[in-house]
Structure 1
Amino acid sequence: MAGCFPKMFTEKGDAKFGDQHFKTAIALIELHKVRNSNYPDELRDLEYLGDWDKMIFNTVEYHKLEEGYELNLKEGWIGMPESLEYPEEFWKGLGLKKSNMK
């Protein structure tokens, strides 16, 4: 499918969707922690998801750790974004301990 669209279009789409999926997953995981006093064992344990939220099941990989969790982005829109980076402040206060994102 990626060959059907200009590269510039797919790169921007991958970055925008990848960023959205990654942040959505973090928000839902952290909300689960606030509500339940622990991180979910798996993403399927998340509650009250909107239809668009469910896209994270295919685009991120989650692993609960002894303390916190690991979250890796697997896909943006069609493929993996070439680069997504977040400022140091972004990571503060999260239980996210390991990720393929910078």
Structure 2
Amino acid sequence: MLRAAIILVVLTLCGCDFQRQADAKFGDQHFKTTIALVELHKVRTGAYPESLKDLKFTGEWDAIALNSVEYRRLDNGYELNVTRGWIGSPDMALPSEFWRGLGVVKSNVKRQG
């Protein structure tokens, strides 16, 4: 009985770590895909989109990323928050050089360094 309880606890802890890692990986992909689409829109039109619905020429898989973030255009750029990774909400951080040259001025993704 004790052995079964220990195995259950170990499996539960491993499962949590797997979900946390999967949420981070999927969240990272959703965030970066959306940034690429938003920044491409700005290159093509000269302005950031009012909403993600304004993006053109997106692929079928892009819808997954676009439905996993919250976007808001701001006067000096845009706000982009990751709302879903694989299952839950990821806790993410990206290095300072990642942010250089982007219009993301506010995000729930942390800046390292």
Q: TM-score, normalised by structure 2?
A: 0.82
Q: Secondary structure at the match of 1:32?
A: helix
Unpaired stretches in structure 2, ≥5 consecutive residues: 1-11
Distance 2:66 2:25 in 1: 17
Matching residue within 14, 25, 38 for 2:34: 25
- How many angstroms does 1:7 deviate by? 1.5
Moved over 2 A (4+): none
Structure 2 equivalent of residue 52 of structure 1: 61
Partner of residue 98, structure 2: 90
Matches within 5 A, 1:1-102: 6-81=15-90, 83-102=91-110
What's the CA shift string for 1:6-34, capped at 9, x where partnerless?
Answer: 21221111011000000001000000000
Match of 2:40, SS? helix
Shift of 1:99: 0.5
Partner Cα separation in structure 2 for residue 100 and residue 9 of structure 1: 22
Bigger Rg, which one:
2
How many pairs were matched up? Answer: 98
Pairwise CA distance, 1:56: 2.4
Higher relative contact order (CA 8 A, sep 6+): 1
Q: Matches of 2:93 and 2:79 in 1, distance apart? A: 16
